[in-house]
Chains A and B, each alone.
Chain A
Amino acid sequence: MSSLLQVKNVTKRFGGVVANRNVSFTIEGKNITGLIGPNGAGKSTLFNMVSAVFPPSEGEIWFENKRIDALPSYKIAPMGISRTFQNLQVFKKMTVIENVMVGLHTRTASSLAAAAFRLPRSRKDEEFIYENAMEVIKFIGLEDLIEVDAGNLPLGKLRLLELARALATKPKLLLLDEIAAGLNHQETLEMSELILKIRDRGISIFVVEHDMDLVMRICDKIIVLDQGEKIAEGTPKAVQNNQRVIEAYLGAADEKELTV
């Protein structure tokens, strides 16, 4: 059986700078895969290519046996890939429920004309969108805030809202871009519980994360990047004990164990 996502020999250059060099890996179904590496290792670049923000310079990305690396980003969501943003890209002037409703955009198809004349098709879609958005919001635990404009939410709730909106697209693969950044200890713990719950619903998750605690606790597999290249791949345990990973993080070879 082939993997859910296949990244094959991907290289990305920005002018003369090589952000990723010949990176290959796969993501399997119903798994949590982590992507870690020191600052400037090329994690975000790789992440943006998988979510089709920009295409790779060389190499291919396949999702469910379809090549996706040349597609515009709006075609990725209906295929089953959704993402959150590290720098928070919520729709500030829309309420919490409306934000999540945008996530349901591709799961409905009624046209502008159907909307203008409020044809039965459009009404049915509106009902479907609202009900499903509510369901996701309850799952995430934001039901008390549905009427609040997203711009008025504190950071912890914004991260949850991003997660809810991404889930509303009903992804097969969920990409989480530093979902725990800026969260306190308690909030990070709750977030990791939530991520595990999402995985148990049968959704594969790909996380870029700085919080080692979180990564080591939830990931089934970890990919380590350093200076644009993949230097290790394996279970959290194996990666923690990998000599090259320790060197990349600590810059020296005499440490016995990676402190996490």
Chain B
Amino acid sequence: MRKGVQSFSWKGIAVFSALVISFPFLFSSSFYLTKATFAGIYTIVAVGLGLLMGFAGQISLGQAAFYGIGAYSTAILSTTFGLNPWLTLVISLAAPALLAYLLGHTMARLHGYYLAMATLAFGIVIHVLLTEWKSVTKGASGFFGIPKIELFGFTFRQGISYYYLVWAFALIVIILSLNIIHSRIGRALRSIHDSEVASGAMGVDTGKYKMQVFIISSMFAGLAGWLFAHMSYSISPGSFGLNGSILFLTMVVLGGGTSIWGAVCGALLISAISIIVHTAGSHVSFITSDFEQVLYGFIMMLIVIFLPQGLVPAIASKLKKQKQKSARANKVPAIGTVKGDQNV
């Protein structure tokens, strides 16, 4: 452990893994398992988007489109052409990456907020394409008959095995992302936030790293799409529209993009809220699925007004302040009182 440096710790991963592994033993109904599996898929997208928003300082309003490209690539290739899903995983990762590269490349090194606009338009175009290109995507009614993922003769079906498959990937994504932010590149990205001019003077090629993170975030979304497609028997364009992109955005804003765990918490909280709304909806007649959208909008508003950094970074900085306060009370020479001209 290096003093004063944010670094990777297995402790957080171990605790979180224990929670993930034990969940099915506590909540074994298929409703909860399905929701928890979706939470894992959303976590993968949210972590990627969190990297982009919290570390590269860029907003994507088209993350659901990358998610959709990942899902439809594998659906079409594995169903229509009969390829093995493990083979099509490569396409589900490569296709979003290539599109992100092209999109980012035309965006003049991702300066300002042009990426938000470009991805918004991109998301709409992809949604229209999925709906209207009926000969390939089968249109709005959806794509049916997607095969299951198999590994050494074992078939992952919706339920407990798929839950573990999804969360295994989610944990890998979390670990990879933590590794990235605790490296020279992670620090370079964090430095861009505080002073882009100083980053440049230190030799950080800001455009290059913004681009790389955008590509990574699109690949994570593609991976999530791959998992989603093989979980259900069918997929339809409805899951990959603007609403989906806003949902992912809400997760990151809620949890806080400047921390990987923030994005994870955001995805989990939104999934929990969705469960609560569904449960409440079966008892109270006016709570419908539209109610969820209103609620998400409301949450986003509250967070932006009261906790603009998001939940996890806000809590973390509060804890840190308390720790420093108690350290100051215990130690005699404290930081901040070393100014020479104060004791005149």
- Say whether A and B bind each other: yes
Interface residue count on the B side (C-beta < 8 Å): 40
Q: B2–A130 contact, CB under 8 A?
A: yes
Q: B184–A117 contact, CB under 8 A?
A: no
Q: Tell me if B132 counts as interface (CB < 8 A to partner A).
A: no
Query: Of B199, B203, B205, which one neighbours A169 at CB under 8 angstroms?
Result: B203
Q: B194–A92 contact, CB under 8 A?
A: yes
**B11-19, B175-183, B224-232: which lies at the A interface?**
B175-183
**A97-105, A201-209, A217-225: which lies at the B interface?**
A97-105
- Chain B 1-27, CB-CB to A under 8 Å as 1, else 0, gives 011111010000000000000000000
Which chain B residues border A101 with CB–CB below 8 Å? 5, 184, 187
Chain A proximity of B266: nearest CB distance (Å)? 20
Nearest CB in chain A to that of B197: its residue: A89
- Docked CA distance A99–B180 (Å): 17
Q: B5–A83 contact, CB under 8 A?
A: no
Tally of contacts, chain A with chain B, CB under 8 A: 139
Which chain B residues border A4 with CB–CB below 8 Å? none
**B136-144, B237-245, B270-278, B334-342: which lies at the A interface?**
B334-342
B interface majority secondary structure: helix
Interface residue count on the A side (C-beta < 8 Å): 58
- Docked CA distance A98–B188 (Å): 10
Q: Tell me if B332 counts as interface (CB < 8 A to partner A).
A: no
Q: Tell me if B125 counts as interface (CB < 8 A to partner A).
A: no
Q: A122–B183 contact, CB under 8 A?
A: yes
Q: Tell me if A73 counts as interface (CB < 8 A to partner B).
A: yes
Chain A proximity of B288: nearest CB distance (Å)? 42
Which chain A residues border B176 with CB–CB below 8 Å? 116-117
Q: Tell me if B190 counts as interface (CB < 8 A to partner A).
A: yes
Q: B197–A94 contact, CB under 8 A?
A: no
Q: B201–A51 contact, CB under 8 A?
A: yes
Q: With A89-B198, A91-B191, A102-B188 as given contacts, are A97 and B179 in contact (CB-CB < 8 Å)?
A: no
Apart from A105-B203, A169-B202, what 18 extra A-B contacts exist at CB < 8 Å? A72-B200, A75-B203, A82-B201, A83-B201, A89-B195, A89-B198, A91-B198, A94-B190, A101-B184, A102-B204, A104-B184, A112-B216, A115-B180, A115-B184, A117-B176, A126-B183, A152-B335, A187-B340
Q: Which 4 A-B pairs rank lowest in CB-CB distance, beginning with the nearest?
A: A77-B203, A115-B183, A106-B203, A89-B198
Chain B interface residues toward A at CB < 8 A: 2-6, 8, 176-177, 179-180, 183-188, 190-191, 193-195, 197-206, 209, 212, 216, 335-336, 338-341
